[in-house]
Every structure is written in C-alpha cells, then in structure tokens.
Amino acid sequence: MPKVTAAVPVYNVEKYLEKCAESVLSQTERDLELLFIDDGSTDGSGALCDKIAGRDSRVRVIHQENRGLGGARNTGIENALGEWIIFPDSDDWLKPETIERALKTAEGTGADMSLFAFKSVDEQGGTISEHFESLPEGVALDPHKRRDLLLIAPSAWSKLYKTDLFRRTGVRYPPRVWYEDIRTTTKLLPYCGSVAYTGYVGYNYLQRQGSIMNNMSLDRNREIIDAFDDILGWYNEQGLFEEYRQELEYLTLFHLYLTASVRVARADPKHPLLMEFAGSVKKRFPEYKGNPYLGRLSRSRKLALWLTEHRHYRLLNLAFRLKG
C-alpha cells in the first residue's frame, strides 16, 4: 500500500497533463501512487492518462462521467490507497521535494493536515506571486487555539491530508459548483487534531486563460453567496459558529465582499451583483468594521474595502484594472 495518494482530477487538459504527472512521479518521496480521475474528458486526456499508466506501475486511472472538480476529488478520496492524500490540479506541477517535506512535517508533528507555500505562475512558468501563511513552521497547531487557521488559503492543492480525515468526518467537495475549496477546507479544519505548516514553496499554480480563477462569467460569481450560506449554515449546525464568529466574519468580508466585488467590478462596475454582495455581508455581519483581523488587509485591499463601502465601483474598476 502506498503511503501517499496524489489524486489528480483530469478534464480536457491534454496540453498540461504530462508535466503534472512527471512532477508527481519524480517526487523524492517514492512511496506514492498517482491516481488520475478522468472526469469525462472530451479531448485526448483520458487516453493520455492510460498511456502514462502504462509506463509506471504507480499510476492508476479511473474514467467516469463528468461530475465536476469536486466530484472528481471525491472519487479520489473514495479510491485512494494511501494513508495520506494530496490533490494537485492537472494543469499545475509540484516541486520535487514537496510531498517528502509535507509528509515529514505532518508525521513529525502528528498533524492531520500539512500546509505548504505556493506560487502563481504564468504559461511560461514565470512567477506572478508567492503565497506564505503567517504561521510558525514545523509545529503542531490546534485549530481551536489557533482559530486564525481558518484564514489560510482555502485551496485544496496546497495541502497534504490524512485520508482518514475525510472518511471519519464525511466532509466532501460539493460537485459542479464554484468555490468548492473554501466550502470544504473550512469544514475540515475544526476536526483536525492539529495542523502543521512549512514555508517551502512546493506548488506551482498556473493562472491560465479559461481557468475558474480567470473566468469572468459574471453571473456565476453569485455562487460565492451560496458558498457562504453553506459554510455559515454548517458552522451553526455543528455548534461551532460562536467559537469561530470573528474568523467567519473576516472570511465573509474578504471573499464575499472584497474579492468577489473586485472580480465583478473589473468586468462591469454597474453589475447588480455588487450591491447584492454588499447587502449579503451587512445582513450577516453588520458590525464587521470592528473585526480584529482587518489589520491583516494589504493596502490595496483596504483601498478596495473603502471604495466598495462607498459604492465607488467605477473607481474600483479603474484601480484594479490598472493593477492587473
């Protein structure tokens, strides 16, 4: 049985798949399997998965009807043989030591989830930005004592998880929706015995035209409201809302009010979603201006918040279109 399963959802990424696969199979941690979930690809991706599997016995392929990114990850969870699981996206790639370092950090601290730093890159592999967490490295962090763990980057692919964490909690990725990462990571964290972090930049996240993060299909941005309905409702159901109220308030402000507003305003500063975002946040957390985490906002995010609060959406559009 392999120690780690790298579960990779695959959908029409023939151009990128070999690089992703090679980055997994060349890991310094050799005790792993690469599990491709071909999610109903209509290009040559499915056949390429089979070809790669024919070259390396550590590769398995599952072909399924399209269930979306979340549904493909769930298939990976259900079929993983590894004690640990990681979810690289099929158009991204890992640094060679990523799994070894994440696993060493997890096993050395007894953590259920091991986080690592990452960078965003362009099609040529050039660095756009790097992301580090404001956390101590290599120590076990209790999510009930370090509630700011809820504020980490929610991306599924920048973490190594105990496979049993999903199985004992029943938490899964919602299928066929946007923002499936934040809906899931926020639910896993309170049920981790501990979380550990390494600042090793172990993941290259490709920002390409047509990806979910770059997709400007404006109406679908409303799904961030649905996502927070889901998250806040779940925390209430679990009796965790009051414990994590400040963190949930900041998450809602950052993702639903600021990030979503900037994304929509850059495309259409008159779009009605902008007012809907504002109303949704103020209804849920009318006292958000007193949130202790507001000091974490960068200068540009503080500007975005001021412009959004004062409904200066044209200026928001101009400021962030120029920023790129």
Is 18 in contact with 91 (CB distance < 8 Å)?
A: no
Instruction: Check whether residue 224 and residue 288 sit in a common domain.
Output: yes
Domain stop point among 159, 182, 206? 206
pTM score, two decimals?
0.94
Residue 209: band (very low, low, confident or very high) from pLDDT cuts 50, 70, 90:
low
Residue 216: band (very low, low, confident or very high) from pLDDT cuts 50, 70, 90:
low
Q: Is residue 212 part of a domain?
A: no
Q: Would the pLDDT of 220 be above 80? A: yes
d(CA 269, CA 317): 6
CA 247 to chain centre: 17
Q: Would the pLDDT of 219 be above 90? A: no
Residue 235: band (very low, low, confident or very high) from pLDDT cuts 50, 70, 90:
very high
d(CA 35, CA 52): 11
Task: Give the pLDDT confidence score for residue 125 in this predicted structure.
Answer: 84
d(CA 9, CA 85): 13
Domain stop point among 149, 174, 206? 206
Instruction: Check whether residue 46 and residue 186 sit in a common domain.
Output: yes
Task: Find the CATH number of the domain harbouring 97.
Answer: 3.90.550.10
Q: Would the pLDDT of 208 be above 90? A: no
User: In the numeric block, which tokens belong to residue 97?
Assistant: 């030591």
d(CA 324, CA 318): 10
Task: Give the pLDDT confidence score for residue 110 in this predicted structure.
Answer: 98
How many domains, in total, are found in the chain?
2
Instruction: Check whether residue 141 and residue 100 sit in a common domain.
Output: yes
Q: Tens digits of per-residue pLDDT, 140-190?
A: 999 999 999 999 999 999 999 999 999 999 999 999 999 999 999 999 999
Give the angle subtended at the CA of 87 by the CAs of 85 and 158, to the nearest 5°.
Answer: 100
Domain of residue 311 covers 218-323
d(CA 237, CA 293): 24
Helical (H) or strand (E) element with 311: none
Q: Tens digits of per-residue pLDDT, 254-300?
A: 999 999 999 999 989 999 999 999 999 999 999 999 999 999 999 99
d(CA 220, CA 171): 24
Q: Tens digits of per-residue pLDDT, 83-115?
A: 999 999 999 999 999 999 999 999 999 999 999
Task: Give the pLDDT confidence score for residue 322 in this predicted structure.
Answer: 59
User: In the numeric block, which tokens belong to residue 190?
Assistant: 């309170």
Task: Give the pLDDT confidence score for residue 213 in this predicted structure.
Answer: 44
Q: To the nearest whole number, what is the mean pLDDT of the chain?
A: 94
Instruction: Check whether residue 235 and residue 277 sit in a common domain.
Output: yes
Task: Give the pLDDT confidence score for residue 323 in this predicted structure.
Answer: 55
Q: Tens digits of per-residue pLDDT, 20-49?
A: 999 999 999 999 999 999 999 999 999 999
d(CA 92, CA 94): 7
Q: Is residue 211 part of a domain?
A: no
Beta bridge partners of 118: 131, 203
